[in-house]
Amino acid sequence: MTGAVSSPDVASKDGVQLKRELGLFSAINLILAVMIGSGIFVSPASALEHSGSVGMCLVVWTVCGIISLLGALAFAELGTVIPRSGAEYAYYMDSFGPLHKFWGQLPSFIYSLVMIFIIRPAEVAVIILTFSEYLCQPILDVLCVHNPEETEKVIKTIALAALGTITYINITSVKFYVKVQNIFGAFKVFACLIVIFGGIYEIMKGNTDNLNKGFEGTKYSPKNIALAFYSGLWAYDGWSAVTIVTEEIKRPEVNIPRSIIISVPIVTALYVFMNMAYMTVLSIPEMMNAKAVAVTFGERVLGPFSFLIPLGVALATFGCALSIQFGVTRVCYVAAQDGLMIKSLSFVHYKKLTPSPAVVLQGIVTFVFIVAGDIVQLIEFVSFLIWIFYGLAFVSLLVLRKTMKDVHRPYKVPTWIVIFALLIAIYLSVTPIVTDPSPKYLSALAFILVGVFIYYYFIYKKNFPDTIMKRFTRFIQILFEAVPPDSSHE
């Protein structure tokens, strides 16, 4: 297999550690890959449903893009002050860690536990299943396979094959990942542009009846406005992706802010114009009832080329899953370096220079979720925690400005942006609980409490069975040809 370093001699010379392989273009593509998943193609109608009109819907998508950019700019400063991978994890460790012996590291541990074992692998599982469905469905239709049980088996089989493929790519080398990601990123943007130009073509034909309705039917109630913005902001999630892999970004102090400033407005423009294209061709009820909005749009506009839309969804979802797995393995890597996860998860293949044990762990957890079946509910009951973690990151930025005020900051975001982003994060954390009170949020709280117990017993009190752990570590080293990175944090 091709590796980032081709021989042990080279690895010894340069050091066994993660390498800076992602330039500005790759950093931009990483953000695009995570932000643009299947949602904008399959179900972008939630914001429209709550806003009630074409005009208000476009306003919501535009404002949500601006808000996302402001939050991302705060993360850009954090990424230049704390030059470690892991994003929120690393920021919590450096800001809260020194403040208290027990509580200081707890936010980092809970974040890594939730992301590594639930949110990210569950997201990858859902995205991979979506990829498989859109790849398989046209083929199954041609073969006249309509039996639900057979269809489900085929979709799961292809999904597992896709999971194996992205895991193989992320193990092989970062250079290989970058090449694949750049290719899929380009195709993904191309699929978005197909929708946009299809909408422009319809407007040029004079099909403007739906757009001319403007703000007719707008829902002005505080609850509907809140839910419309909540839906839009969720669609933009992923703007912090580049800060998760800071240690692999070339010139991070320059390329992190630049990649964010370039990529988030690109996604905003794509989302706004794609929604305008949809609403040019489809009425509000049609968008509400469509199983996949982009597919319905393609059937109306593209004629014999409508197959490009399902293909675009498949490409978008595969690239998204690949990049999400790439990012979460770095959270696992840095948490293991600090002793908050099993140490061997920070080991790096001595030739490929990838965190192969962490990648395989993510592959295994995602495999379990795919086999388990319906996991959308699982994501829903913990997904509101993502914005709690964002909020804590903004708090950590304010803390670091006090505790690390003398550290050189090549980029500094205005304080009002940090406070505004914090208020948005609080709003997005509270909104689902207030609008839909449900026992499922108690389940998330229960999981966190279990995490606190694990942290206290195994991390804080260090109750590890040393003999077993040493044997396990040796087994991992032999199995993965992996060694501790030279830059390991002791």
State the pLDDT at residue 378.
Answer: 67
pLDDT score recorded for residue 6: 36
- Name the token pair of 246: 């800071």
Q: Identify which of 158, 356, 284 has the alpha carbon closest to the alpha carbon of residue 346.
A: 356
- Residue 64 maps to which CATH number? 1.20.1740.10
Give the span between the Cα atoms of 355 and 17, in whole angstroms: 9
| DSSP 8-state class, residue 119 | I
Q: How far, in Å, are 113, 242, 339, 456 from residue 460 at the CA level?
A: 15, 30, 10, 5
6 in a structural domain: no
Beta strand pairing status for 348-349 and 482-483?
Answer: antiparallel
User: pLDDT, tens digit, for every residue of 190-204?
Assistant: 989 999 999 999 999
Is position 13 within any domain? Answer: no
- Give the pLDDT score at 11: 44
Residue 9 lies in a domain: no
229: which 2 tokens?
């913005």
Q: Which pLDDT score, from 0 to 100, does residue 148 have?
A: 74
Is 490 contained in some domain?
Answer: no
d(CA 436, CA 432): 6
Q: Do the domain assignments include residue 38?
A: yes
Check the CA dihedral 370-376-379-382 and report its sign: negative
Distance CA 274, CA 202 (A): 13
How far does CA 72 lie from the centroid of its chain? Answer: 13
Query: What's phi and psi for 404, nearest 5 deg?
Result: -130, 45
- Residues in the chain with pLDDT < 70? 1-16, 141, 145, 374-382, 487-490
The pLDDT value recorded for residue 15 is 63
DSSP single-letter state for residue 457: I
Q: What are 85's two structure tokens?
A: 């991978």
Domain that holds residue 451: 20-483
351 in a domain, yes or no? Answer: yes
User: CB–CB of 48/219 below 8 Å?
Assistant: no
270 found inside a domain: yes
Q: How many domains does the chain have?
A: 1
Q: What angle do CA 359, 364, 368 make, to 5 degrees?
A: 145
Instruction: Tell whether 14 is covered by a domain.
Output: no
